[in-house]
Amino acid sequence: MIIISEKSILGSKSDARFIFNKIKADCQLLVNKNMLSLDWLTETTNEIEFFGELDFSALTIQEFNLIFDLLLNLHIDNQVTDKMQADPRFVEQKKVA
């Protein structure tokens, strides 16, 4: 399952594994650039392997929005990005003309 927050949970274990496998390499790059917590990536890897859970609930505002951008750029599951946009941590990016 995919946990956006304590009150917003969706999908199945296979959905969580599929999405995590798509973003894992990019997440590692963000960790290398100190933009994403290594602890979160390590814990999430273990949670995916053992429980099939992809948990975004502990992410900071910055990390949450970085993950949102990854999902959006990879055209992954509109249900997930829709739920993320409804989360208070979501910050809409202003486009410069």
* pLDDT score, position 93: 67
Full pLDDT tens readout for the chain, 97 residues: 999 999 999 999 999 999 999 999 999 999 999 999 999 999 999 999 999 999 999 999 999 999 999 999 998 778 999 999 999 999 986 544 4
Return the domain boundaries, the chain: 2-85
* Buried b or exposed e, range 15-34, using 16+ CB within 10 angstroms: bbbebbeebeebbeebbeee
* pLDDT score, position 92: 80
Taking each helix axis as running N to C, give the angle between helix 61-73 and helix 78-85, from 0 to 180 degrees, rounded to the nearest 10: 150
* pLDDT score, position 96: 45
β pairing state of 54-55 and 2-5: parallel
pTM: predicted TM-score of the whole model, two decimal places: 0.89
